[in-house]
Amino acid sequence: MHLDKQHPQPVYLQLKELLQNQIEHGVYVSHQKLPSERDLCQHYDLSRMTARRALQELIADGLAYTRVGKGTFVSHQKKPVTKAVETQPDLDKAQLKKDGVIHSRLCQRLLNALSTFNCIDADQTISEILAKHSLETVAVRLFPELINFSEKKWVNGSINLLTHNYVIVTIRSQLIAMMNAATTGKRGPMALLACAPEDLHEIGLISLALSLRRRGLSIIYLGPITTVSDFEHAVDMAKPEVICVSAATDQGSENLYQLGQQYFGSSRRDLDSKKQVFTFGGVAFTQNPALASKMPGLYLGHTIEEAVTQVQALVYSSK
């Protein structure tokens, strides 16, 4: 694990999780001295306060103790980690297999916390997940799958609508925080992202915005939009190289079609005459691929990974 200073999780907690993982896997054994604050600062390019807080967190969790004038040491570990535990599939790999995400221990714990409105445990579990797995793995794979699983539980009556909405709102807030934290030092090619009119399903779109921003693009994220005139005003003001609009429902795809027709015109010539490239995607086209051929603009594909590749090709090929 590396320390990501743009990650929404505080760096001291990332360092604490890294040291804890090393302790649990036998890199540091019972009563062995841990790296000093100075060593941690030099190795990870951190402030003294950050290193100190990480060690204090380990001590607070009973994983370490201090000896005056000697340093910080690993507490007694009753059971070393066995090979069976070490070879359990990691979320980053398991999630690529069917149902791999929802069966992981941390994900089950997160779902239970959200289903019981336990916000403290939910926040702590999300922090643990973010500490163990890459930010984009969590944003692009884990969070959308958790929402899908929550929706299935709502449909079969296992949870009510309010609980399902709480899951969505919590995950959305996490994604927004990740996206806002993923800033770049200089202005890159600009992409404007929005939901189709009257379409409120924005989780996938936020994940796309996060992934593109981490690749150096400047992102204007509008989320759900209201009218075509508002959309036109935003595009004219921002002047993005690429416009990405998503639709999750049949009604959303119809509104997306109307949006493209009204803004770009009905002919391909009108579309090509615009400075911006109009692209689209979303669950509506994954569920009904035939819809894509009827839309004005470029279809970004069935997955967020495909969309990222397409947008990158568009903005960087013209440079």
Q: Can you give the pLDDT at residue 87?
A: 34
pTM of the model: 0.64
Please report, for residues 16, 185, 215, 239, the alpha-carbon distance to residue 242 in angstroms, rounded to integers and kept in the order given. Answer: 40, 20, 15, 9
In sequence order, which residues have a C-beta less than 8 Å from that of residue 179 and are 6 or more positions away?
A: 206, 209, 210, 213, 219, 221
Label the pairing between strands 71-74 and 64-67.
Answer: antiparallel
Distances (CA, A) of 222 to 14, 32, 176, 181, 225: 31, 52, 12, 17, 7
Specify whether the CB–CB gap between 168 and 203 falls below 8 A. Answer: yes
* Helix 143-155 / helix 161-181 crossing angle, nearest 10 deg: 170
| Burial class of residue 74 (count of CB atoms within 10 Å of its CB; 0-12, 13-18, 19+) | buried
Please, what are the domains in the chain? 11-74 (1.10.10.10), 89-180 (1.10.1240.10), 185-317 (3.40.50.280)
CA 255/CA 296 separation, integer angstroms: 12
Q: What is the pLDDT, as a whole number, of residue 194? A: 93
Report the largest interatomic distance among the alpha carbons of the chain, rounded to a whole angstrom: 77
Strands 242-246 and 277-281 come out as: parallel
SS3 170: helix
Q: Which amino acid is it at 194?
A: A
CA distances from 84 to 1, 17, 80, 81, 227 (A): 21, 21, 11, 8, 56
| Residue 96: predicted pLDDT | 35
Range list of H helices, the chain: 11-24, 37-44, 48-60, 83-86, 91-94, 105-115, 119-132, 135-136, 143-155, 161-181, 203-214, 228-238, 250-264, 268-273, 283-287, 304-317
CB-based contact 145:96 (threshold 8 Å)? no
Instruction: Assess contact for 45 and 4: CB atoms under 8 A.
Output: no
Mean pLDDT by 10 residues, the chain (319 residues): 69 86 80 89 87 89 85 74 37 41 70 88 84 81 86 86 91 87 71 90 91 88 83 88 91 88 55 69 89 88 90 76
Instruction: Look at residue 246 in the predicted model and tell me its pLDDT.
Output: 93
The sign of the dihedral angle between the CA atoms of 300, 304, 310, 312 is positive
Tokens representing residue 261 in the block = 């027709």
